[in-house]
Chains A and B, each alone.
Chain A
Amino acid sequence: MYRIRLHGRGGQGMKTAGRILGSAFFLAGFEVQDAPRYGAERRGAPIFAYVRAGRTPILERGVISRPDLIIVADDHLLAMPGAGVLSGAQPQTAFLIHSHEKPSLWRERLNLQGPVFTLPGLPENELRFRGAACAGGAAALIPELNIDLLAEAVQEELAPLGPELVATNLGVARMAYASLAAHRGAVHEGGPVSAGEYTPPGWLTLACEEPLLSAPAIHAAATSELSQTGLWRTERPIIDGSRCNRCWWLCSTFCPEGAIQVDDERRPRIDYGHCKGCLVCLAQCPAHAISAVPEEEAAAQGETP
Chain B
Amino acid sequence: MTRKLLTGNGAAAWGARLARIDYLPAFPITPQTEIIETLSNWIEGRELECRMVTMESEHSMLTAAGAAAVTGVRVFTATSSQGLLYATEMLYTVAGWRVPLVMVNVSRGLSSPITLEPDHNDVLAMRDCGFLQLHCATCQEVLDNLLIAYRLAEHPTVRLPVLVNLDGFYLSFTREPVLIPTQAEVDRFLPPFNPGSIRFRGGEPLSEGVAVLEGAAYSYFRYEAHLASLQGIRVYEELGQEFAGLFGRSYTALECYKSEDAEIVFVMIGSFATKAKEAVDRLREAGKKVGLVRPRLVRPFPAAALRGALAGKKGVAVIDQNLSPGKGGILHGELASALYGMAEAPPVLASFVGGLGGRDISSEEFFEIHKAVQRAVSEGVNPSPRLLYTEEELRGVRTMQSVARAADTKQGGGA
Q: Give A residues with C-beta under 8 Å from B.
A: 19, 22-23, 26, 31-37, 39-40, 58-63, 65, 192-196, 198-206, 212-213, 215-223, 226
Contact = CB atoms under 8 A, between A and B. Distances in A.
23 contacts: A19-B175, A33-B176, A34-B175, A36-B173, A37-B169, A60-B275, A60-B278, A60-B363, A62-B170, A194-B282, A195-B367, A195-B370, A198-B367, A199-B364, A203-B390, A204-B389, A206-B394, A213-B401, A217-B404, A218-B403, A218-B405, A218-B406, A220-B408
A22 B370 CA distance: 33
Given A37-B169, A219-B406, A194 B286 contact: yes
A93 B394 CA distance: 28
Nearest to B394: A204
Interface in B114-173: 116, 169-170, 173
Given A59-B274, A65-B362, A198-B367, 17 more contacts: A19-B5, A19-B175, A26-B5, A33-B176, A35-B175, A58-B176, A61-B170, A62-B169, A192-B282, A195-B288, A201-B390, A206-B387, A206-B389, A216-B113, A217-B404, A219-B411, A219-B413
A223 B278 contact: no
Contacts of B387: 205-206
A39 B408 CA distance: 29
Given A26-B5, A61-B170, A203 B388 contact: yes
A62 B364 contact: no
Contacts of B191: none
A290 B370 CA distance: 62
Contacts, number: 133
Contacts of A221: 412-413
Interface string B373-415: 0000000000000111111101000000101111111011100
Interface of B: 5, 7, 112-113, 116, 169-170, 173-177, 271-272, 274-275, 277-279, 281-283, 285-286, 288, 360, 362-365, 367-368, 370, 386-392, 394, 401, 403-409, 411-413
A36 to B, nearest CB: 6
B364 A33 contact: no
Contacts of A61: 170, 174, 271-272, 274-275
A203 B389 CA distance: 6
B48 to A, nearest CB: 18
Nearest to B112: A216
B406 A32 contact: no
Contacts of B113: 216
A22 B176 CA distance: 9
